Amino acid sequence: MYGNDFGTPSDDPGRGAATDAPEGFDELLATEGRVEPRDAMPEAYRKTLIRQIAQHAHSEIIGMQPEGNWISRAPSLRRKAILMAKVQDEAGHGLYLYAAAETLGVDRADLLDQLHDGRQKYSSIFNYPTLTWADMGAIGWLVDGAAIVNQVPLCRCSYGPYARAMVRVCKEESFHQRQGFEILHTLSNGTEAQKAMAQDAVDRYWLPSLMMFGPPDDDSPNSAQSMAWGIKRFSNDDLRQRFVDMTVPQAEVLGLSLPDDAIAWNDETGHYDFSPIDFTELFEVIKGNGPCNQQRMAHRTGAHNDGAWAREAASAYAAKQAARLVAVA
Amino acid sequence: MSDWPLWEVFVRARRGVSHVHVGSLHAPDAEMALRNARDLYTRRQEGVSVWVVPASAISASSPDERDSFFDPAADKVYRHPTFYDVPEGVEHL
């Protein structure tokens, strides 16, 4: 659902990276543009990618919770089937991404341990609660919309396995965005109560969606290096602006307003102006102090611990079957 | 979970084309790997046939020896049909 190099500005494993590039790496980036798993690469490039891809994967997995919250309460069988398909996609996106991370020489189980004990993060957006059915629409339209703006450039990321995973993810993401838009469109053209519910969801998810693009460019320590390495193609602020430009006209079609009076077309820049964002909240959420951080992690670690016996059973069964095959042969 | 081996997944999109590598996954055994690959990589009619191979069974060429490993194809120009002169007027050759 979402990938960016999110973290507090103090997390900074990529620094000093440019100096340790193995021979031929810079040339490889300049000519072939794609790095593959067995190529030599700077240790900091590898570490930054592991962190970014793993946190992207974690986001997909944690991101199933806010929407999973409404599966049993979806208002119609059609909406319910769609929501289940979407949550299934998120699980798949998580798996594609863990697989991409593993090509860098890490183990998925270790990455999950790092998520569980807080050493790795997931997208800030999933620490917000889903209070009404309309939130399923706002998440699809705004959150997945922001994810698409962010992820389409990642399809050209310099690390081949990540780029290929993103191609697959992006295809499925546009289904998510459209179904979210449709939910809001239906609500917005429904009863007054339904329209009010849609507006409320948009009001609550607008700013958190804008913050998904990460801190502003002058407060984003890893961005310059990531752009030099071709991991990142556009700056946080550029992507955020692109998202606003795309979303404002869509809001007009929906007949819903965005909760920012400063939004106005600017003829000079050719973009929509919008209010400066207070990023204090973003850093608080990333630090673990958002509305749902504890709940999300408790649910995730609970599922992991409660499922230990099932994983052990599957391993024991596989070992037994393998032993039988050997015995027969 | 670290006990579960990694499997590489190949999907054939339809009859008449070859299997293409689409990704990988963890599973305790081949049967679960196949089931998960079905759910993970063919949710939208991407394929009609799936292969799963333990990642440990795959040997890969090394990028370091790429030049020496792959070069012979380029300097053996006689391997290409365009190397040979054909007299004027000869058809279907």
Q: How confident is the model at residue B16 (pLDDT cuts 50, 70, 90)?
A: confident
Q: Does residue A206 contact residue A141 with C-beta atoms inside 8 Å?
A: no
A111 against B46, higher pLDDT: A111
Interface test with A, best of B7, B24, B38 (most A CBs within 10 A): B24
Mean pLDDT of chain B: 85
Mean pLDDT of chain A: 91
Q: How confident is the model at residue B20 (pLDDT cuts 50, 70, 90)?
A: very high
Query: Three-state DSSP class for B56?
Result: helix
B60 against B70, higher pLDDT: B60
The mean pLDDT value for A231-259 works out to 96
> Is B63's CB within 8 Å of A314's CB?
no
Query: Is the pLDDT at A159 greater than 60, yes or no?
Result: yes
> Is A38's CB within 8 Å of B2's CB?
no
Q: Which of A103-107, B18-22, B76-80 has the lowest mean pLDDT?
A: B76-80
A34 against B78, higher pLDDT: A34
Q: Given A95, A102, A108, which is nearest B40 (Cβ)?
A: A95
Enumerate the residues of chain B whose CB falls inside 8 A of the CB of residue A314: 4, 28-29, 32
Alpha helices per DSSP H over chain A? 25-31, 43-62, 64-68, 77-102, 108-116, 134-138, 144-151, 160-188, 192-211, 223-228, 236-254, 280-284, 293-306, 308-328
Q: Does residue A121 contact residue A84 with C-beta atoms inside 8 Å?
A: no
The mean pLDDT value for A56-62 works out to 96
Which residues are A272's β-sheet partners? Answer: A265
pLDDT tens figures, A62-119: 999 999 999 999 999 999 999 999 999 999 999 999 999 999 999 999 999 999 999 9
**Residue A224: per-residue pLDDT:** 84
Enumerate the residues of chain B whose CB falls inside 8 A of the CB of residue A107: 2
**Residue A243: per-residue pLDDT:** 97
Enumerate the residues of chain A whose CB falls inside 8 A of the CB of residue B7: none
Query: Is the pLDDT at A14 greater than 80, yes or no?
Result: no
**Residue A5: per-residue pLDDT:** 53
pLDDT tens figures, A221-232: 778 888 889 999
ipTM value for the complex: 0.76
Q: How confident is the model at residue B60 (pLDDT cuts 50, 70, 90)?
A: confident
> Is B2's CB within 8 Å of A318's CB?
no
Q: Which two tokens stand for residue B71?
A: 């070069």
B90 against A73, higher pLDDT: A73
Q: Find the Cα–Cα–Cα–Cα dihedral A151, A247, A272, A286, rounded to 10°.
A: -50
pLDDT tens figures, A193-218: 999 999 999 999 999 999 999 999 88
Q: Which of A1-5, A60-64, A236-240, B30-34 has the lowest mean pLDDT?
A: A1-5
> Is B25's CB within 8 Å of A88's CB?
no
Q: Given A38, A110, A165, which is nearest B63 (Cβ)?
A: A38
Q: Which residue of chain B is at minimal alpha-carbon distance from A172? A: B44
Which residues are B24's β-sheet partners? Answer: B8
Alpha helices per DSSP H over chain B? 30-41, 66-70, 72-75
Interface of B with A in 12-51 (CB under 8 A): 23-26, 28-29, 32, 39-40, 43-44
Query: Is the pLDDT at A145 greater than 70, yes or no?
Result: yes
Rounded Cα gap, residues B13 and A192, in angstroms: 47
Rounded Cα gap, residues A124 and A296, in angstroms: 11
